[in-house]
Structure 1
Amino acid sequence: MKAIKGVKILLVDDEAHILQFLEMGLINEGYEVKTAPDGHAALESLEKFAPHVIILDVMMPGMDGFEVCKRIKETADHTAVIMLTAKDDVRDRVKGLTLGADDYLVKPFNFEELLARIGARLRNQFPDLLGEVVHGPFQIDDRRKEIKYREEPLALSPTEYELLKFMVLNHGIVLSKTMILDRVWGYDFGGEENIVEVYIRSLRDKLRDKEHRLIRTLRGAGYRVDLI
């Protein structure tokens, strides 16, 4: 994905060489970039710089990344947070995501993967910056709340639109029912999990996906969109 003019990224890390490497790489990609060496500087930049995406290291002296993430989400919930850590520990990842982090990368990481994850966060959280987004046979126009499949507009209810958009934007990733419910129906949804199955069935009908090649079911894990 090419960088979009006007997209602002804040880098937060206490290791100067990492900040320099990421700053140079992201500027070369066309992003507007600011850096912060610690949590306090990050929170100051949050108000002044108003970034779309924050790349946030976990292991920092003083205020760690978890506390910074918590404070960011309390005041700027729309800001996308991608957490970086040297710890390949499931508990750390769960803690970060529970505090509101939108994605997680374990150091060392591939710069191309970071770019892909930044792109995914922009598509998910700032679709107006993108206008129409194309993924394989899908065209998503969030301003018109319209999705086309192979150039043909789909007749979708508002919930079907949000569900298909979420799945297409995260294509190739296994999405559990719980994750889908949280992102599409909301954390306070009090209904049954089988509502997801009902909507998936409806989407498959509208996509003529009788063989489930487009929206795949992974038994015991969830669903995955494969672009075909």
Structure 2
Amino acid sequence: MLSYSSYMLTAVAALLVSCHALRKFPEVPRLAGIFGLPGRDGLRGQSPLPGLTGPSGNGGLPCVQGLRNSLDTELYNILVNLGKRLSRLEGVLALNGEITEVGEKIFASNGKEADFASALESCEKAGGTLATPMNEEENNAILSIVKQYKRYAYLGIKGGDTSGQFRYIDGTPLNYTKWHKYEPNGKGTEKCVEMYNDGSWNDKKCNLYRLTICEF
């Protein structure tokens, strides 16, 4: 059975029929992914639950320009109220240590361990990706989850064809690093990166089981 907060998120996903809604509430797809509901892709004309279908029967109302003013205003007011409740929910989750928010990113873990490919897949299915620190603040946020579970975690970084060269998952060069002393030292045989419990990084094989931490 879905929790009250999950029903709220489902309602938001179903009501996002106005084009300005996603711009007004960018946190909706992030939080939806954390709760296992459809993430960013799932909000594009798809219904999160059976029965929430649009007039065309395609699983959801499309983003439509020129809705009647009264309908648009009513939906807008509903979204404003839901947005406020989501903000409070986000605060509660952060207070309980279930999520960590830094800037525009939210980091969260299901507490499970997996190899790199499986961890990445589970994050992407939830609408996010593997946690990828771009600066010291984000690295510390991920570290707080590593310390909470007392387990090393894979990061969203992969080794390239050149030995010792690492890039983000999308192929762009790293703009921030936190390598442990004398790391990386795998000489091209260790293509993945794990975070130690002091926040430093180590190159590691990709088939080991490490804590899954996602970012949204």
Assess same fold via TM > 0.5: no
Q: Which has the larger radius of gyration?
A: 2
- The higher-RCO structure (CA 8 Å, 6+ apart) is 2
The TM-score, its normalising length taken from structure 1, stands at 0.28
Is the helix fraction higher in 1 or 2?
A: 1
Question: Taking structure 2 as the reference length, what is the TM-score of the superposition?
Answer: 0.29
